[in-house]
Chains A and B, each alone.
Chain A
């Protein structure tokens, strides 16, 4: 009888790009992402030299700073099988915009393109790459889901979070009339043009209210802080959370965004 050895396929080594907003403002989202990835069979590494993907500089026209920060991210994340971020905006920056930053630097452009090809937004990675179709979490409520612009238009994140939310026990999802319209965050836009930004997020919260949902979910913390801030100002009782918190079942550990225990 020939000798056979039982092999377990190696666990994919996933580098978690925490994102600067999650790092500073909402660590629970990072831990939720960690949990989801580990439960899906990944070995998760958190490279400790990460700061920011560079979007604030990139979108303010400071290409030199953006390129420096991109180079650091490329070096830190390049060695792993995948890079995953709980944000369509930061994942889109790495996947689509990094290569453009290195137009005149063939060495880094090559690395950036390779990194870009293995960089994913969290819910898209779980479903499209790992083939996950359900989670074990429970959340009692009715949620509505806001499609953040970069994730939606740069990475095609639309069905993935909804598919996973569909498996959460106790949860119903009720769509807004216009879930794909920008919430008015736009990075530095929200402080450079606060009047317009406030008007846009006001339109969004009206749409949220019209659904009658008790919870607002999205995949990007920037949009979530903006929408939560507006809902609080309006005295709304709608709870705002990152989708990863619900999918990982950690909502019991942390108050909704903008609220305290």
Chain B
């Protein structure tokens, strides 16, 4: 289970900035995502209109979520599937374990799923003697390295090709010494070879869901490697892990959102594999599972309903916000200290683990607004981060030093006459300290600023308001 290290965000970030290999990986991966998205978006004239559509579909669904959830569950059952309603992560883990036990499972293959990280399914299964095997290429290496994803669609975003090669040579002990890993293809084929037997041997396949469709009771996954299809069609039992906000009313709604998803995520028009799963294998079907379970997870979502954070539940997990975030680009995903990094994580994590632990995340943003401008469902991420700062402030969780400075400044800012006097004196003193130099290399109490940059000195001659007043007086004379 992912331990929450968000309280150590500053330390995590400082270490990440010094990590040469991480910085190399971040630089490479990020550029590719940005370029591909820009090209894909430019090629679709209706992309902006589609964002409005996406937002509206999600808003409508959330406003009627109780209805759609029940409608969906009824349709899953009609198709021979079973829905397990789980209000907490513990409930969800227990439900998955119970299904696996009843199936007599020894190994379980898994498609990529962030909710699985959130609820900590792998550790739970392992603790009970069931071996989970990640089949997404990125997740596969992460599992070998005993790490957690650093990105919601590219789990191994923080790794370089050399890291892959080193890990394969370490974990695949029978690997011939002369095997070459020069290209992505070499890495892929090595993982594929290893995974092939696992796919065939697995008793249960677990996938996530990009969307749940109420009118048909279907779940949808998108992948580029096809591992999701093998995970869910080969084993006898298919478990879908999904949180409640994955719901959409109709197939048409799902396809509208799919058009947004791939373009926003990887810059593809469509992912290589888009798979719709409905219930169990019917008579005459060539494939499909004998059991189809949906573990439907709340884990804190319903607490967001009716609050200012409800808008966050529109998120379709495309990762465009983190791909475009300069803070994520500087420190990578692990620094955020839990499952969901970047701007979406900075809003979601405090909801799920508490703002007392994750308070740094919504603060570590310049509010540059780039995330909101690329979000396919127009989530006002900076606004929601600001709401977290307000909650923090109300609960007196923000650092005392900052609160004191803010209160002092606010006292003056509310009183223009006192403010004029104080700023005139303050700026005068600062100018004197500058002694004619244009900038400070160091200044007491300004270490945060001057550690990495000079602090320009105020322009000589006093504040604007003082000079303007003097000018007006001269004019009247």
Taking Cβ atoms with an 8 Å cutoff, the residues of A that contact B are 18, 20, 22-28, 30-31, 46, 48-52, 54, 56-63, 65, 68-69, 72, 149-150, 153-154, 180-182, 184-203, 225-226, 228-230, 232-233, 254-260
**Contact present for A63 and B390 (CB under 8 Å):** yes
**Contact present for B413 and A198 (CB under 8 Å):** no
**Contact present for B438 and A260 (CB under 8 Å):** yes
Q: Can you sample 29 A-B contacts with CB below 8 Å?
A: A18-B464, A23-B463, A23-B465, A24-B423, A24-B427, A24-B464, A25-B459, A27-B463, A27-B468, A31-B468, A49-B416, A50-B416, A57-B410, A65-B413, A69-B414, A149-B367, A186-B365, A186-B367, A187-B367, A191-B446, A193-B363, A197-B366, A199-B17, A203-B326, A233-B452, A255-B438, A258-B454, A258-B456, A260-B438
**Contact present for A24 and B458 (CB under 8 Å):** yes
Number of A-B contacts (CB under 8 A): 209
Among A18, A25, A72, which residue has the most Cβ atoms of chain B within 10 A? A25
Q: Which listed residue (B390, B392, B438, B463) contacts A24, Cβ 8 A?
A: B463
> At the interface, yes or no: B14 with Cβ under 8 Å from chain A?
yes
In the complex, what residue of chain A is closest to B449 when comparing beta carbons?
Answer: A191
Interface residues of A, dominant DSSP: helix
CA distance A22 to B410 in the complex (A): 18
**Contact present for A153 and B373 (CB under 8 Å):** yes
**Contact present for A23 and B423 (CB under 8 Å):** yes
CA distance A190 to B450 in the complex (A): 10
**Contact present for B410 and A193 (CB under 8 Å):** no
> At the interface, yes or no: B419 with Cβ under 8 Å from chain A?
yes
CA distance A103 to B419 in the complex (A): 28
Q: Which listed residue (B10, B14, B368, B413) contacts A186, Cβ 8 A?
A: B368
CA distance A190 to B414 in the complex (A): 24
CA distance A59 to B386 in the complex (A): 6
CA distance A54 to B386 in the complex (A): 14
Q: Which listed residue (A181, A188, A233) contacts B453, Cβ 8 A?
A: A233
Q: Which listed residue (A56, A63, A259) contacts B409, Cβ 8 A?
A: A56
Q: Which listed residue (A22, A52, A196, A254) contacts B331, Cβ 8 A?
A: A196
Taking Cβ atoms with an 8 Å cutoff, the residues of B that contact A are 10, 13-14, 17, 326-327, 330-331, 363-370, 372-373, 386, 388-394, 398, 402, 406, 409-410, 412-414, 416, 419, 423, 426-427, 434, 436-439, 441, 446, 448-459, 461-465, 467-469
**7 shortest interchain CB distances as A-B pairs:** A186-B366, A198-B452, A61-B389, A61-B393, A191-B448, A182-B368, A229-B453
Residues of B within 8 A of A200 (CB): 326-327, 330, 366
Residues of A within 8 A of B398 (CB): 60-61
**Contact present for B419 and A51 (CB under 8 Å):** yes
Residues of A within 8 A of B364 (CB): 189, 192-193, 196
Shortest CB distance B368–A (Å):
4
Residues of A within 8 A of B412 (CB): 51
Shortest CB distance A62–B (Å):
5
**Contact present for B416 and A232 (CB under 8 Å):** no
CA distance A81 to B214 in the complex (A): 53
Q: Which listed residue (A25, A48, A52) contacts B469, Cβ 8 A?
A: A48
CA distance A68 to B367 in the complex (A): 22
CA distance A259 to B452 in the complex (A): 18
**Contact present for A51 and B416 (CB under 8 Å):** yes
**Contact present for A259 and B453 (CB under 8 Å):** no
